[in-house]
């Protein structure tokens, strides 16, 4: 059954980078420490850009490095147009962008449109009273101190999404922490100011944005009570409706006024891919949207087959392009969720051979698991410290972090360090490098159509084909038992087996994934 027959663009030779490429997410606190204070920083990232080049990714997405009191580790921004001293200074951001571009790596920065920090001057002004210039930039409603204006509850707690301000006798809305007041995008000055933030970074040369919970910005002023299951977490799974679409069109127009393929990918934590796809509009809203349905799919061949079909049927009719992610800074790493290295290797083959843009999360190429974080060292209000552990670069990983890393290192850090894995063909790192090189060299893989093929239970099979280069077939065994009765006799291109290893053309071993060619 051919399910995706076009690459969505008339000229296959010129797919924009964000369709043909692979994006690598960096969480700046934990990528690399340039000054030995135990916390990652921008000079650390710049010094390690060679890792991204050697890995073979096309773009880096940087989680927030802006000025912030760090109540939500940077997702509470107090100055969008400056670098937090923890991470360096503005000149370090410029240097990072220049160095990335010099090696051909695109730069995507985080854009946090839904809320700011309580310490942002806009909110500080709003707190001065009902007549303040920036008062209406936020969402204020009347109500008795113990009577929140509606039934919405904030993320990371079961508490109301409202905090009462005694001085003015009103509540302000925060879908996340009380330290993250929501902006009111119904106010034209907010739109202008936030467009100014986009311009600031576009003018500094960034290639795109990852827009944090961007589907939340179009809230209707009525702010009606929600059914109980949605009220529990209105920031998630809530389709806020028409206001957001209008704002996204404005953002898209702004990006298109700049030369080059500037891109916005939305963090769309929505109930299904059809709702997710609606935020691409008619190719006039987001360029890409994260597929959280697939991110949360269990490791089963039939479930992944369904995710592939669902993404194609939601996106193909509108010319949208899929994205695939297995890990990020908000959920346990897939190596931890899947429970074995063998499965993580098969998952890498899946991620890097599907039709769509893969987003890697730093450290997955090392096969890192979540760190065990003892109670007394936990710092994130959302309980997400484990996946944010610092990366091991050398066989002295503690030393990479000045002997005082801000979080415990992941298990087995020395053995899984970049230094220890480099050049070892059996390592996860070399597995990722081989897969990324194959993907880049093979048009069928980075831009071709995808056709699902029949396969025995437990196996997922698909064919990728483009108008140039060989067709490629992928077969993945999602189980930990060998599965026979297959015909995989064609030329071995890659997979979980080592290059040169002998493979049985009729059998996929436990957790085996195999890429073969048609010729
Ligand atoms: O995440 C939004 C979001 O959906 C997360 O809250 C996620 O579902 C949750 O962490 C699961 O435990 C974005 C950012 O990625 C996250 O780091 C921020 O905390 C959040 O927005 C607020 O800006």
426 C-alpha vs ligand 1 centroid, how far in Å? 35
**Token pair for residue 443?**
């048009």
Q: Is residue 489 part of a domain?
A: no
Q: What is the pTM of this model?
A: 0.97
Same domain, 338 and 429: yes
Assigned token pair, 303: 């479930």
Residues 474, 355: contact at Cβ < 8 Å? no
State whether 301 and 426 are in the same domain. yes
Give the residue from 400, 421, 439 where a domain finishes: 439
The structural domain count of the chain equals 2
Q: Is residue 515 assigned to a domain?
A: no
CATH number, domain of 58, equals 3.20.20.80
Q: Does 480 fall in a domain?
A: no
pLDDT tens digit sequence for 256-304: 999 999 999 999 999 899 999 999 999 999 999 999 999 999 999 999 9
One domain, residues 248 and 300: yes
- Which residues, at least 6 apart from 399, have a Cβ–Cβ distance to it below 8 Å? none
Residue 212 annotated among the catalytic residues of the structure: yes
Domain end position, chosen among 379, 413, 439: 439
8 A C-beta contact, residue 488 and residue 475: yes
Domain assignment of residue 161, given as a range:
121-173
Residue 59 lies in a domain: yes
On average, the pLDDT of the chain sits at 95
Same domain, 78 and 141: no
128 and 109 share one domain: no
Residue 137's domain is classified under what CATH number?
A: 3.90.400.10
The residue nearest atom 17 of ligand 1, judged by CA position, is: 330
User: Sheet holding 472-477: strands in order across?
Assistant: 2-4, 449-453, 459-465, 472-477, 513-517, 492-495
Using only the alpha carbons of the chain, give its radius of gyration: 23
- CA neighbours closer than 13 Å in the CB half-sphere of residue 327: 29
Q: In terms of domains, do 140 and 77 share one?
A: no
Together in a domain, 210 and 127: no
Widest pairwise Cα distance in the chain: 75
- The pLDDT profile of the chain, 519 residues, written as one tens digit per residue, is 445 444 444 445 579 999 999 999 999 999 999 999 999 999 999 999 999 999 999 999 999 999 999 999 999 999 999 999 999 999 999 999 999 999 999 999 999 999 999 999 999 999 999 999 999 999 999 999 999 999 999 999 989 999 999 999 999 999 999 999 999 999 999 999 999 999 999 999 999 999 999 999 999 999 999 998 888 888 887 888 789 999 999 999 999 999 999 999 999 999 899 999 999 999 999 999 999 999 999 999 999 999 999 999 999 999 999 999 999 999 999 999 999 999 999 999 999 999 999 999 999 999 999 999 999 999 999 999 999 999 999 999 999 999 999 999 999 999 999 999 999 999 999 999 999 999 999 999 999 999 999 999 999 999 999 999 999 999 999 999 999 999 998 999 999 999 888 889 999 999 999 999 977
Q: Where do we find the tokens 């049985």?
A: 504
Dig out the tokens for 500 from the structure. 């040169």
Of 267, 285, 364, 511, the active-site residue reads: 267
Do 226 and 354 belong to one domain?
A: yes
Cβ(325)–Cβ(358) under 8 Å?
Answer: yes
Are 83 and 141 part of one and the same domain?
Answer: no
Summarize pLDDT for 177-218 with one digit per residue, the tens.
999 999 999 999 999 999 999 999 999 999 999 999 999 999
Shortest-distance atom of ligand 1 to CA 235: 4
Distance between CA atoms of 353 and 462, rounded to whole angstroms? Answer: 9
- Asked if residue 502 belongs to a domain, the reply is no
**Tally of CA atoms within 13 A in the half-sphere of 57 that contains its CB:** 26
451 is catalytic: no
């Amino acid at each position: 059954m051919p399910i995706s027959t076009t690459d969505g663009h008339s000229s296959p030779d010129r797919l924009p980078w964000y369709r043909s490429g692979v994006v690598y997410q960096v969480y700046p606190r934990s990528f690399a420490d340039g000054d030995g204070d135990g916390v990652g920083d921008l000079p650390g990232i710049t010094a390690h850009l060679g890792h991204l080049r050697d890995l073979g990714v096309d773009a880096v997405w940087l989680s927030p490095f802006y000025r912030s009191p760090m109540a939500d580790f940077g997702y509470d921004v107090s100055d969008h147009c400056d670098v937090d001293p923890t991470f360096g200074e503005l000149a370090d951001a410029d240097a990072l962008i220049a160095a990335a571009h010099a090696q051909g790596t695109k730069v995507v920065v985080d854009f946090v449109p839904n809320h700011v920090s309580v310490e942002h001057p806009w909110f500080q002004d709003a707190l001065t009273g009902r007549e303040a210039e920036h008062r209406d930039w936020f969402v204020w409603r009347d109500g008795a101190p113990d009577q929140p204006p509606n039934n919405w509850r904030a993320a990371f707690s079961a508490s109301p999404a409202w905090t009462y301000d005694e001085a003015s006798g009103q509540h302000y809305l925060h879908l996340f922490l009380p330290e993250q007041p929501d902006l009111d995008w119904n106010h034209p000055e907010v739109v202008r100011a936030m467009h100014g933030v986009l311009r600031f970074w576009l003018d500094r040369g960034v290639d795109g944005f990852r827009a944090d919970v961007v589907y939340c910005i179009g809230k209707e002023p009525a702010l009606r009570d929600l059914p109980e299951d949605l009220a529990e977490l209105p920031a998630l799974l809530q389709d806020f409706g028409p206001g957001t679409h209008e704002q996204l069109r404005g953002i898209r127009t702004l990006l298109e006024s700049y030369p080059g393929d500037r891109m916005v990918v939305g963090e769309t934590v929505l109930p299904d891919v059809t709702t997710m796809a609606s935020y691409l509009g008619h190719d006039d809203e987001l360029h890409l949207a994260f597929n959280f349905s697939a991110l949360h799919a269990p490791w089963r061949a039939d479930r992944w087959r369904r995710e592939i079909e669902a993404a194609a049927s939601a996106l193909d009719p509108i010319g949208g392009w899929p994205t695939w992610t297995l890990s990020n800074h908000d959920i346990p790493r897939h190596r931890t969720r899947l429970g074995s290295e063998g499965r993580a290797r098969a998952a890498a083959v899946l991620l890097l051979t599907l039709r769509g843009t893969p987003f890697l999360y730093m450290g997955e190429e090392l096969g890192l698991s979540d760190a065990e974080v003892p109670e007394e060292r936990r710092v994130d209000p959302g309980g997400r410290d484990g996946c944010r552990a610092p990366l091991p670069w050398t066989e002295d990983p503690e030393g990479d972090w000045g002997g005082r890393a801000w979080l415990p290192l992941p298990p087995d850090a020395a053995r899984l360090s970049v230094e220890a894995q480099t050049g070892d063909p059996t390592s996860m790192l070399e597995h990722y490098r081989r897969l990324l090189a194959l993907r880049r060299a093979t048009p069928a893989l980075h831009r071709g159509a995808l056709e699902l093929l029949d396969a025995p239970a437990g196996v997922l099979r698909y064919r990728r084909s483009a108008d140039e280069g060989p067709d490629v077939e992928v077969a993945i065994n999602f189980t930990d038992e060998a599965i026979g009765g297959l015909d995989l006799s064609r030329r071995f291109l890659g997979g979980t087996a080592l290059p040169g290893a002998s493979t049985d053309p009729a059998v996929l071993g436990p957790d085996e994934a195999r890429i073969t060619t048609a010729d």
